Chains A and B, each alone.
Chain A
Amino acid sequence: MSIYVYGVTRAPVDLPAGLRGVGDPPSPLRALAAGSLAAVVSAAPERLRARRRDLHAHQNVLLALAEEGPVLPSRFGVVAADAESVDARLRAEQDSYEAALDRVAGRVEMNLKALTVESGLNDLLRQDPRLQRFRQEARRQPGYETSIRLGEAVMAGLTRRARAAVDEGVTALTPLAAEVQPGPEVEGCVRNTSFLVAADQVPEFRRVVEEFASRHSGEVELRVTGPLPCYSFAALPAAAGA
């Protein structure tokens, strides 16, 4: 019977009560211990899809486990053929997993996403001679072509402003983090960056983000999410480039 793998942690695992796994109805969670490690798993649903309920379940199980100790979160949707293959894998990779658990122990992931803000348009127009030229053209020769050129330049300018601001913010936040990783490219975000932060540094991290965000509100919108399971910092050394 195939099993859904939420993540890897250290044995023994004290599974928090009342946690729901993926599937409808959710199947019970259990820990498969192998040596010093344990995988937290449940029976894989027959038709697993990235539904909101299942994504929530995956995330909630990992958040709960992270409270108990270091955990390496699986990507959503990792399924093993059977318990034996999980056991064999954990034993074979024990040293790598232990090293990866040490890396995230006592730390959380904080994710920062940056978006453009339209309220910067006035300032942008004042500062950018090229944009002013496009605007003149659009006024002299109103039409589709000139409007598109102007609008595209505005979008590029807003993106540039937001990116410059958030990069400054990332620089300010980096000393608070043990590691920094770029996140996947997300449409609509000009930057997506994850920070590995000591759990007791989270309030300070947020303070710096908020302070920075309010100073740069005309340039960039920042969304900080966390503490999260350390998705971006869980890769095993061998798989780091994968």
Chain B
Amino acid sequence: MTVITTDEVVCPPRAGTLYDVLDLILDRGIVIDVFLRVSLVGIEILKIDARIVVASVDTYLRFAEACNRVDLERDSQSRTVPELFGGASSGARKAGAKKAAHAVGQKVKGALGVGDEDGEEEDSEEEPEEKPSRSRSGARTSTSRTRAKTSR
């Protein structure tokens, strides 16, 4: 469980805060009707939270494996699910999921310039094909759900 209570108004927001509200900055707020909203290259990529893992098949398999490790007869407190997941780390399926998540993270990091704290991120204009459709237009399907990592 993580509750992130973020900055007072007086403090500039941390990077994490910015990612948590990208949806608002890009999708809410006034658009003055006669004004032009410039077409922003890469804007769709930015909508992806860097900490979100593309779930899909890999995650389903990982969940299934975790389920099989749960001993329903025993005390639920005796083993935690993270331990169960940890125990599966040698499996190829987990590695696959991890790799996929890593790849997504890298793409997003590339687009955002994450890890470059003073904002001197390099250009990433070659990325726009990564996210052709808006996320709210139904990109979520039964085979490409997402979930977020709980760590920050």
Closest B residue to A157 by CB, please name it. Answer: B63
Q: Is the CB of B49 within 8 A of A135?
A: no
Among B28, B112, B113, B139, the one with the most A-chain Cβ atoms within 10 Å of its Cβ is B28
- Chain B residues bordering chain A, tally (CB within 8 A): 79
Interface residues of A in 35-80 (CB under 8 A from B): 44, 48-53, 55-56, 58-60, 63, 66-67, 72-80
Q: Is the CB of A49 within 8 A of B135?
A: no
Q: Is the CB of A123 within 8 A of B9?
A: no
User: Shortest CB–CB separation between residue A132 and chain B, in angstroms?
Assistant: 8
Give the chain A neighbours of B130 by CB distance below 8 A: none
Interface residues of A in 190-242 (CB under 8 A from B): 192, 194, 206, 209-210, 213-214, 217, 221-229, 231-232, 234-236, 239, 242
Asked if A12 is at the interface of the complex by the 8 Å CB criterion, the answer is: no
Q: Is the CB of A52 within 8 A of B121?
A: yes
Interface residues of B in 74-113 (CB under 8 A from A): 76, 80-82, 84-85, 112-113
User: Shortest CB–CB separation between residue A228 and chain B, in angstroms?
Assistant: 6
Contact-residue bracket for chain A: 35 or more
Q: Is the CB of A224 within 8 A of B5?
A: yes
Measured CA separation A188–B22 after assembly (Å): 14
Q: Is the CB of B64 within 8 A of A185?
A: no
Query: Known: A74-B29, A154-B64, A155-B55. Is A85-B34 also a contact (CB below 8 A)?
Result: yes
Partner of B18 from the list A5, A56, A126, A232 (CB cut-off 8 Å) is A56
Give the chain A neighbours of B150 by CB distance below 8 A: 115, 117-118, 221
